[in-house]
């Protein structure tokens, strides 16, 4: 047989005499929980703390990432865009790019049949130049640049 013990009269009296204190404590708890939720929701989880522009869905490799000497590099653009890649200041020839047009992906993989057989070890800069699909390349297309490292 279980019995519930009623709250001591002093505690019940304290609650009844000062209900606004409980309301303030409840309000503070709600505010703190909301602030924690907002802080976690707004935290930056992008690679190297950089946020990509809305025109770019993903980069391969991520900024600062270490890749093998013959890995694929490129960008996944917004689906209504197209573009080209510029590696270390040199635009990669169109016939050496790989494209998935419906997904607006443009990539490059070094190889024996390409101008670049493999990346030299070290830091490389990659830029994607982009513009709307079906339109001529503008004189000043949109662009995004990042660096990655190549190593054995």
- Is the pLDDT at 44 greater than 50? The verdict is no
Measured in degrees and rounded to the nearest 5, phi and psi for residue 127 equal -125, 135
Residue-wise pLDDT tens digits, 119-140:
999 999 999 999 999 999 999 9
What would the mean pLDDT of 18-30 be, rounded to a whole number?
77
With pLDDT > 90 as the criterion, what percentage of the chain qualifies? 64
- Is the pLDDT at 150 greater than 70? The verdict is yes
* Contact predicate 82/133, CB 8 Å: yes
Summary mean pLDDT of the chain: 86
DSSP calls for 127-147: EEEEEETTSPPPSS-EEEEEE
What would the mean pLDDT of 24-31 be, rounded to a whole number?
82
- Is the pLDDT at 5 greater than 70? The verdict is no
- Give how far the C-alpha of residue 35 lies from the chain's centroid of Cα atoms, to the nearest Å: 23
Q: Which residues pair with 12 in a beta bridge?
A: none
């Amino acid at each position: 047989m279980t019995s519930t013990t009623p709250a001591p009269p002093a505690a019940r009296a304290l609650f009844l005499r000062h209900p606004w204190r409980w309301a303030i404590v409840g309000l503070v708890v709600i505010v703190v929980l909301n602030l924690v939720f907002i802080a976690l929701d707004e935290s930056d989880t992008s690679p190297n703390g950089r946020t990509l522009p809305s025109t770019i869905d993903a980069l391969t490799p991520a900024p600062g990432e270490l890749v093998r000497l013959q890995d694929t590099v490129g960008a996944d653009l917004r689906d209504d865009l197209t573009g080209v890649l510029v590696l270390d200041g040199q635009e990669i020839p169109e016939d050496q790019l790989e494209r998935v047009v419906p997904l607006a992906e443009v990539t490059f993989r070094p190889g024996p049949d390409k101008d670049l057989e493999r990346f030299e070890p070290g830091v490389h800069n990659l830029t994607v130049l982009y513009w709307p699909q079906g339109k001529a390349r503008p004189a000043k297309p949109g662009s995004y640049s990042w660096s990655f490292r190549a190593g054995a």
